[in-house]
């Protein structure tokens, strides 16, 4: 029995090294090409669907897909406009991506899932769990942003005025064109990632390339312009504090203690909004704790799901 377990462990390790992102495929949704991946796992537990953060893609889950698939099938999806999905002229906002996630679930999965989201993906996951309760059995949010209209009132009036003008300025097409040229350079992406990651050694050339590659797709510059403008609109996302009390499923929130993008002080306000929400702080984790502290994050998710089964 010991030898059999070791053989299985060796096989799993080999598979992990060979295909850390599972089997990538394309799906046509409403005429647009969408990239997704999946890795078959055990059939005894609910499947899992992973949603990436803003500017990222399913490639961000390369340290998570295989470990999480040991007891269940894991899917990961590129939201339209990101990653390997089409850079479409689409009405980008949270409710739009919720529709994409739901129709993907109806097409490929057909049973309640564990829905996992990071940052922007966490907002999409949260909204999807409320809009389609038949789809979600458990919810895992790796940092959860506040909506724009929640943040502005917390600022002094004079800063609110400046912020509004700055949003309009930075959303202008000509400036987006300049910005796109800048972020298409490896050295710029590398510098940005090193301000986000707590451990700069995790900012590898492979990671930098994963952020650069989508920018080479046709329509990428125009999509960046649409996304930037959309995020300045109040209808881009519902209020996070309005959404959380509506969630009817067990919810795990994971937050890096060193997150420089969305500080933990915001995350600590959330458990009071829903008694089914559990907040776990990841020591020394940054905004990308799923990568920098992958083993810890994977263990927390799997341990929590095991607890929820009993």
pLDDT at res. 215: 87
Q: What is the mean pLDDT of the chain?
A: 86
- 2-154+239-308: what CATH class? alpha beta
pLDDT at res. 172: 53
Please state the rounded mean pLDDT for residues 2-18.
Answer: 43
pLDDT for 69 beyond 80? yes
pLDDT tens by residue, 112-164: 999 999 999 999 999 999 999 999 999 999 999 998 777 654 444 433 343 34
Q: What is the 3-state secondary structure (H, E, C) of the chain?
A: CHHHHHHHHHHHHHHHHHCCCCEEEEEEECCEEEEEEEECCCCCCCCEEEECCCCCCHHHHCCCHHHHCCCCCEEEECCCCCCCCCCCCCCCCHHHHHHHHHHHHHHHCCCCEEEEEECHHHHHHHHHHHHCCCCEEEEEEECCCCCHHHHHHHCCHHHHHHHHHHHHHHCCHHHHHHHHHHHCCHHHHHHHHHHHCCCHHHCCHHHHHHHHHHHHCCCHHHHHHHHHHHCCCHHHCCCHHHHHHHCCCCEEEEEECCCCCCCHHHHCCCHHHCCCEEEEEECCCCCCHHHHCHHHHHHHHHHHHHHHCC
Confidence band (pLDDT; 50, 70, 90) for 67?
very high
């Amino acid at each position: 029995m010991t030898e059999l377990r070791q053989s299985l462990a060796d096989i799993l390790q080999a598979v992990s090294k060979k295909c850390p992102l599972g089997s990538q495929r394309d799906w046509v949704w409403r005429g647009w090409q969408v990239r997704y991946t999946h890795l078959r796992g055990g059939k005894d537990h609910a499947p899992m669907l992973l949603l990436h953060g803003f500017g990222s893609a399913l490639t961000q889950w390369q340290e998570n897909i295989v470990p999480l698939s040991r007891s269940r099938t894991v899917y990961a999806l590129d939201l339209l406009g990101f990653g390997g999905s089409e850079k479409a002229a689409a009405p980008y906002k949270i409710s739009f991506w919720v529709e994409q996630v739901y129709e993907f679930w109806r097409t490929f999965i057909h049973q309640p899932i564990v829905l996992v989201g990071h940052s922007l993906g966490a907002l999409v996951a949260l909204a999807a769990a409320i809009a389609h309760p038949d789809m979600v059995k458990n919810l895992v949010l790796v940092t959860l942003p506040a909506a724009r209209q929640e943040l502005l009132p917390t600022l002094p009036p004079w800063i609110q005025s400046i912020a509004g003008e700055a949003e309009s300025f930075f959303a202008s097409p000509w400036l987006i064109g300049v910005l796109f040229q800048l972020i298409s350079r490896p050295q710029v992406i590398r510098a940005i990632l090193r301000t986000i990651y707590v451990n700069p050694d995790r900012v590898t050339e492979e990671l930098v390339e994963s952020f650069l590659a989508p920018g080479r797709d046709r329509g990428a510059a125009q999509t960046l312009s649409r996304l930037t403008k959309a995020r300045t609109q109040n209808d881009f996302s519902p209020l996070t504090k309005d959404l959380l009390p509506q969630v009817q499923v067990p919810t795990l929130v994971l937050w890096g203690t060193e997150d420089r993008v969305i500080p933990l002080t915001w995350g600590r306000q959330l458990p009071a909004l829903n008694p089914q929400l559990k907040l776990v702080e990841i020591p020394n984790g940054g905004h990308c704790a799923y990568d920098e502290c992958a083993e810890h994050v994977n263990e927390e998710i799997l341990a929590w799901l095991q607890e929820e089964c009993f």
